[in-house]
Amino acid sequence: MAHSSTMEKLGSQAPDFNLKNWNPLLEQEAYGLSSFVDQPSLLVAFFCNHCPYVVHLRDSFVGFSREYQQKGLAVVAISSNDVETYPEDRPEKMNEDARNYSYPFPYLYDESQEVAKSYRAACTPDFFLYDENRKLVYRGQYDSSRPKNSNPVTGEDLRKAVDALIQGNVIPENQIPSMGCNIKWKSGMEPDYFAR
């Protein structure tokens, strides 16, 4: 079932987290907001292995992340799916995907799903861009491409937002929600904040 971003209020403070890293290409075992204190901007992406929306833009997003990390953007991907119902998203598979697709960012597992809730994440992928004070400046789509349309995967919307942030320009508040598979909540854990 597809959902769109909840479009959390711009200016909201980034919630902290402390999650184990399952990217074997990075040595650090766990990450939180303090892990990125030296970087002037932060992108938190809610991700998973199996979602066709994530798979659709995965290669492009890896390239995007590598490019913008060199410009000072910290990138972290978090998977919050229930692995009992979706075993292809379990940490061992996260480890494999991170290695197979050369993820240049930490890939963290939110087993309790509390981090997803604190960010008001709704779908995969779901993107949250924060400035140097970790205030939310963009939450929306990567671009207009979807698995079932013919639009090219460019990352245009997210690129424009990150470029504006890096250059000190105003990021327009008129932002298009991301769309993807709903986060696979454990029984009784589904929040009530989804955009309708």
Superfamily of domain 2-182: Glutaredoxin (3.40.30.10)
Q: Which residues contact 100 (CB under 8 A, 6 or more apart)?
A: none
Residue 97 in 3-state DSSP?
Answer: helix
Q: What is the mean pLDDT of each run of 10 residues along the chain (196 residues)?
A: 89 98 97 97 97 98 98 98 96 98 98 97 97 98 96 98 97 96 93 64
Instruction: Report which of 100, 99, 105, 112 is spatially closest to residue 45, judged by C-alpha positions.
Output: 105
This prediction has a pTM of 0.96
- As a residue count, the chain comes to 196
pLDDT of the residue at 15:
98
Report the 10 Å Cβ neighbour count for 93. Answer: 18
pLDDT of the residue at 192:
82
CA distances from 27 to 104, 126, 133, 161 (A): 12, 25, 26, 30
Instruction: Report which of 153, 180, 170 is spatially closest to residue 64, judged by C-alpha positions.
Output: 153
Angle among Cα 162, 169, 32 to the nearest 5 degrees reads 40
Report the 10 Å Cβ neighbour count for 79. Answer: 31
Position 148: which residue type? Answer: K
* Four-residue CA torsion sign, 2, 163, 117, 7: negative
pLDDT of the residue at 59:
98
Distance CA 161, CA 175 (A): 10
CB 66 within 8 A of CB 104: yes
pLDDT of the residue at 195:
42
pLDDT of the residue at 61:
98
Q: Which residues contact 133 (CB under 8 A, 6 or more apart)?
A: none
CB 46 within 8 A of CB 121: yes
pLDDT of the residue at 75:
98
Distance CA 161, CA 55 (A): 22
pLDDT of the residue at 35:
98
pLDDT of the residue at 196:
40
